[in-house]
A and B are shown apart, each in its own frame.
Chain A
Amino acid sequence: MSNVAKRQTSTLDKVLRVALYATLLSVAFIYLAPFLVMLLTSLKDVEEIRTGTLLSLPGSLNLDAWSKAWSSACTGGQCEGIGPYFMNSFQIVLPAVAISTLLGALNGYVISHWKFKGSDLFFAALLVGCFIPFQVILLPMARTLGWLGIANTTTGLVFVHVVYGVAFTTLFFRNFYQSIPGELVKAARLDGAGFFTIFWRIILPVSTPIIVVTVIWQFTQIWNDFLFGVAFSGFDTQPVTVALNNLVNTSFGGKQYNVDMAAAIIAALPTLVVYVLAGKYFVRGLTAGSVKG
């Protein structure tokens, strides 16, 4: 290769490289922009919103919209802000995540190391549960919750989220436990160790990564749920997503976009914090079932 040609390719390389970085960074800006606009809007007052544009800066740091969104904005009938509903979401999410993760771990353990007749077939049947459109189960579930006496309660929502979350948690744990050698479990059984002793002493100590992935996955799924929340909750047991939607669609006394945006950020905050702190695991959770199959 002649010198001239070499120099040419290297300049071309440099130009391409700059273009590459420029593209990546401008795309990053596009992804960030909506959140930036939300944040800026939530810090403005109504007058500034009327006169300014999406990306114009607020005149002063004004947290009125935030306190209004939290404690006094109207969400349909009541005007207590989304604070109470934010707490409802935690009351639904925490038990639902804990129970579905525990069940998933035990199920995954059985399906990979204590196979019985029909357990593989059952696993296949359970997998379908990950994919059905939930519209198919809404009406019967509404009747069932009524019969059980837990319609419109947080308990009812916890129940629903556990029932339909277990398919995913079982899949995650089963895929992870498949990689633990069966000989290990067999040896322990020969030594007389029982079902729970093996789970407790051998399986659980190596499960930390998959527990983290599953907890993060379930937390985001259940926190972000809207369908079950709107179908099965009562007025004072609504999760925050439902309250946010009511707040935004309440056209009571003029639109206050700053309050809408503050409420939206509050509703998104828990999952965003989890994502920023443990994003690596979040990605792993998202790709777990899909790349490896």
Chain B
Amino acid sequence: MRIATLKTSYAGDEALFDTKLQRSLLALFGLVLAVFPFVAGPYWLFMACLVAINVASATGLNILTGYTGLVSLGQAAFMGVGAYTVAILELRVGTPFPVNLLAAGATTALVGAVVGLPSLRVKGLYLAIATIGASVILHFVFANWSLTGEARGLSMPPARLFGNDLDQPFELYWVIVPITAAMILGAANLFRTRIGRAFIAIRDRDISAEVLGIPLLRYKLTSFAISSFYAGVAGGLWAYFFRVVTPESFPLINSIFYLAAIIVGGMGTILGGILGAAFMTMVPEVLKLVVGWFSPYFPDALAALAPIRTIVFGALIVGFLIFEPQGLAEIWARVRRFFHLWPFKT
């Protein structure tokens, strides 16, 4: 049983991961991620990249909704801004892909800050509707601007690094996963700074936060900008991954997907965003695998069990909300507590 962690230095006090066990588990996880592409097939690599992109975007939304308390349904449209920025830069300017990704983040941050303006007046569901309005406008722009290729969208060449085309999940894995990891690390550190704490103060009670001297205008818009930066980079990665960006690539339902991901994962925790996005992306695929097992015994299991699969996925989400309202992150926390307190029980 562990009682507490003794910290004997400022460095120890500041550390993001404060125990040796945590650090070694993290190193082990890093090792697994590094070895994974060499043992997994293209399908699992594809899924890993997709999960990583969704994790990056969900983490961005978590900063805004989970930590700052501003509900947004514009995440998919923001990803679209990032994806289009990357595609346009790649096609028209030909700048290298790291520059394009940063530009995607920056452009989306700017758009996000503008979209965030209503957050100064409205909150909760009203803000959600305002962000839906913004995504409708963005979709209209995507579908009607000649620069964005109108309804047909844009097809782009693969990312290039040192003269090599990055067009396979195996190659893109080495771009997408490290960038996502860096973004998660950035988000985790953000909430140890004045800015991040101001976000949390605004979430908990914005009037009190203002009384404490936190300028709401600046911090709410900063939160929108940072969150959109994440969405923009995730959208840029998405564009390099699929290489076709159309107005239909980022429908409103995707925004709901990300919101559901952070709710299922656990709002206001970094781990929640990761687990939620992984859960929402992987569970439908795992359910397909399960259906696959029945195919030898069940005539046309694919068609017969498809509706059941959809229902099970929905039921799982509802089940989590009922039995674990604080999300998957809380389950993980409970598992950790179990081992910390062992042999005693919580």
Verify that A and B bind, or say they do not.
Answer: no
Binding site for B on A (CB under 8 A): none
